[in-house]
Every structure is written in C-alpha cells, then in structure tokens.
Homo-oligomer: A and B are copies of this chain.
Amino acid sequence: MATGKPRRALASDNWAGVHPEVIAAIAAANVGHAPSYGEDPYTKSVVEKLRDALGADEVFLVFTGTGANVIGLESLARPHHAVICASTAHIHTSECGAAEKHIGCKLLPVPTANGKITPNGIADHLHHLGNEHHVQPSAVSISQATEYGTVYSPDEVQVIANFAHDHDMQLHMDGARLANAAASLGRPLREMARDVGVDVLTFGGTKNGAIAAEAVVYFDRKLAKDFHYRRMQSMQLASKMRFIAAQFDALLTDDLWLRSATHANRMAALLGEELAQIPGITLTQKVEANEVFAIFPREHVARLQEELWFQVWNEATTEVRLVASFDTTAEDITTFVRKVREFLTQ
C-alpha cells in the first residue's frame, strides 16, 4: 500500500507514525496469556510507574484523548453542571459534542486569543450560582499545551486551580500534549499537574509517539470512584490492555516521552524562527511547544500544502497550523522553509 517515498507532513502529531520503541514494547509484551481488562502484570506495573511519575492517586488507561477527557470530566460534572473552558478547547470545538452527549452537561466557553484562560474569563460564567434555571459550573478545563501551541506557566495553572477551588469547582487538564508542555518548561511531570492544583488530568501518549494510549489521572482518589465502571460503559476498556500498557512503558523508558517532546518542540522552534524572518509571513502565536501558527499569503497555501501538508486553521485569515512531531526532521523544516521563501519571493 505504502509505495514510493514515505510521505512527510507538518499536518498534525497524529499524522506521524509510532515510535519504533513503542512497537518493540508491544512485541515484547506479546508473550503467552495474560489476564484481560487490565488485570495483567504489564498494566499493573505501568500504572505504578505513571503514578510515581505524576504523583497521582489513581491512573487508568484508555484508547483516545476524547475518551480520557470525557470520562475524566464525568467524574467532575453531572448533567446539571457546566464545564468552563477556552473557546478553543478541543473538548469544545473538536470532539463532536462528546461531553454534551455523554455527560449531558453544558460547556461554557471563555473567549481567548492565545488558547489560555484566566480567572477573569472564568468568573464571567459564575453569575447564576444557585439559580435552578442555569447550569452550575462544577469544573474548569484547560489544555496544556493549548490548542494554539502555547504553554501555561506553573503559576498560571496554580492561579486557575486556586480560583476554581475557591468557587467549588475542580480543575481538569487536557494534557494531550502535556509532554510538550513539560519539555517546554523543563519541569518534571508531577510539577505540571499535581503540584499546581490539577484534580484530573488527561495524559496523552498518542500524539507523543504511541498508537493509541491515553491515561486518565486522578490526584484525589475520591474522584476516581466508579471510574472503572464508567470506562467500561463508555467503551474505553481495552480487553487486551497489556498492549496499551506496553506503549506507555516504552514512553516512560529512558524518558522517551521527554526525548520525543523535546525534539518536536525544537523542530517547531526552528520552524518558527525561520518563518519569522520571511517577509509576508506573520506568526500569530508564541511558539512554546510543538506547533507554529502563522498567517500565510492565501495564494501560496495550496502549493505549499503539496510540499508538506498542513492545516489551514482559519479560512478567513489563512492562518495555518504547522505541527512538529517526534519524527520531524531538520530536513523537513529546511525543505519547507526553502519552499516558503521560494514561493513568496517569486
């Protein structure tokens, strides 16, 4: 099927394939029989490693980021509740209403220019507390790194956590790209969530080089109550869970997660630096993780997409999104930048 030269792209971290160490770990776990549904030694061991790395009370493995977000949030919200999030949040814009359907609650978006929200924006949704005609905010959800490739500082997260807790809400973090954020800040994982007040975390493996491996992470055991029923009922319980476990095991071994994220961030930084110097290109966001957002001249977009595919984020402004992943090469960046220069200076 895959003939000719392998395709290269800057389209998304899920256009990338799987890190070879991940596949090797899957093969290594493929020995004999093992209890299903997570009762196997592979899962137990990896869950323990994740708990240690994250400073977590409970960790559960699932298949998808949407699954992790929705089931995690279901611990924090019932149907009459609301979850406050950025207007750009993946849970709000890109999960086809999964939270609304599965939890039954409402999402209340906070306008944002850079993917990040602040207590002021959250506070705008707190005007009807106790009023039965209005859904009641019970959780705040932030993305780290954000969907705009920006990164909350630990202080910024802590301020949001404090504000949430002061207002009887809890804090969920969508960490589909937590590895990139941690690499960007140079902080260990436990300082990314546990130490700054996060209550429930989605820790993503897929965008970091796994096939399909995400973890729902609880920093308060009480919130995890009944999670295992909800995971099954929400169709996210892997029967052969050892092979999800193996993926995380590979990511945790010799800090593969960090090596990959650091590399992806570096490639994005390189790309951003180069593009910033090209007249006619405007970066729209700080490059803090593995994504670059920039406005490209409309007339060049289609031809550039033929070189290395990327996504037009905003059709109206031809703001584009360029994503580096664990397997992006310096040559990918150089080639792309050369083409951009070439087309724009014709």
Residues of A within 8 A of B (CB): 1-2, 5-9, 11-12, 14-18, 20, 23, 26-37, 41-42, 45, 63-67, 70, 78-80, 82, 93-98, 100-102, 104-107, 127, 132-136, 206-207, 211-212, 226, 228-240, 242-243, 249, 309, 315, 327
Contact of A33 among B17, B27, B230, B231 (CB under 8 A): B17
Q: Are A34 and B15 in contact (CB-based, < 8 A)?
A: yes
The 4 A-B residue pairs with the shortest CB-CB distance in the complex, in nearest-first order: A6-B32, A80-B229, A14-B239, A67-B235
Q: Please name all residues of chain B whose beta carbon is closer than 8 Å to the beta carbon of A80 when the two chains form the complex.
A: 96-97, 101, 226, 229-230, 232-233
Contact of A101 among B11, B12, B35, B79 (CB under 8 A): B79
- Bound Cα distance A47, B243 (Å): 24
Q: Are A233 and B63 in contact (CB-based, < 8 A)?
A: no
Query: Copy number in this complex?
Result: 4
Q: Please name all residues of chain B whose beta carbon is closer than 8 Å to the beta carbon of A11 when the two chains form the complex.
A: 33, 35-36
Contact of A32 among B8, B207, B235 (CB under 8 A): B8
Q: Are A30 and B20 in contact (CB-based, < 8 A)?
A: yes
Assuming the contacts A8-B33, A17-B30, asked whether A64 and B237 have C-beta atoms less than 8 A apart, the reply is yes
Q: Are A133 and B31 in contact (CB-based, < 8 A)?
A: no
Q: Are B96 and A229 in contact (CB-based, < 8 A)?
A: yes
Assuming the contacts A17-B240, A41-B2, A64-B235, asked whether A135 and B30 have C-beta atoms less than 8 A apart, the reply is no
- Bound Cα distance A206, B235 (Å): 14
Q: Please name all residues of chain B whose beta carbon is closer than 8 Å to the beta carbon of A12 when the two chains form the complex.
A: 36, 239
Q: Are B233 and A101 in contact (CB-based, < 8 A)?
A: yes
Q: Are A26 and B23 in contact (CB-based, < 8 A)?
A: yes
- Bound Cα distance A230, B132 (Å): 8
A275 vs chain B, min Cβ distance (A): 20
Q: Please name all residues of chain B whose beta carbon is closer than 8 Å to the beta carbon of A228 when the two chains form the complex.
A: 132
- Bound Cα distance A63, B34 (Å): 19
- Bound Cα distance A229, B96 (Å): 7
**Nearest residue, chain B, Cβ from A9:** B33
Q: Are B236 and A1 in contact (CB-based, < 8 A)?
A: no
A154 vs chain B, min Cβ distance (A): 28
- Bound Cα distance A346, B284 (Å): 55
Q: Please name all residues of chain B whose beta carbon is closer than 8 Å to the beta carbon of A9 when the two chains form the complex.
A: 33
Q: Are B17 and A2 in contact (CB-based, < 8 A)?
A: no
- Bound Cα distance A26, B11 (Å): 21
Select the residue from A20, A28, A228 with max chain B CB neighbours within 10 A.
Answer: A228
- Bound Cα distance A33, B309 (Å): 10
A264 vs chain B, min Cβ distance (A): 13
Select the residue from A5, A11, A65, A135 with max chain B CB neighbours within 10 A.
Answer: A135
Q: Please name all residues of chain B whose beta carbon is closer than 8 Å to the beta carbon of A63 when the two chains form the complex.
A: 63-64, 212, 235-236, 238
Q: Please name all residues of chain B whose beta carbon is closer than 8 Å to the beta carbon of A28 when the two chains form the complex.
A: 2
Q: Please name all residues of chain B whose beta carbon is closer than 8 Å to the beta carbon of A97 when the two chains form the complex.
A: 79-80, 82, 104-106, 135, 233
* Residue contacts A-B, CB under 8 angstroms, 23 given: A2-B28, A7-B32, A11-B35, A14-B239, A17-B32, A17-B33, A17-B242, A23-B26, A63-B235, A79-B230, A82-B97, A96-B134, A96-B229, A97-B106, A97-B135, A101-B102, A132-B231, A132-B237, A136-B226, A136-B229, A211-B240, A212-B243, A235-B236
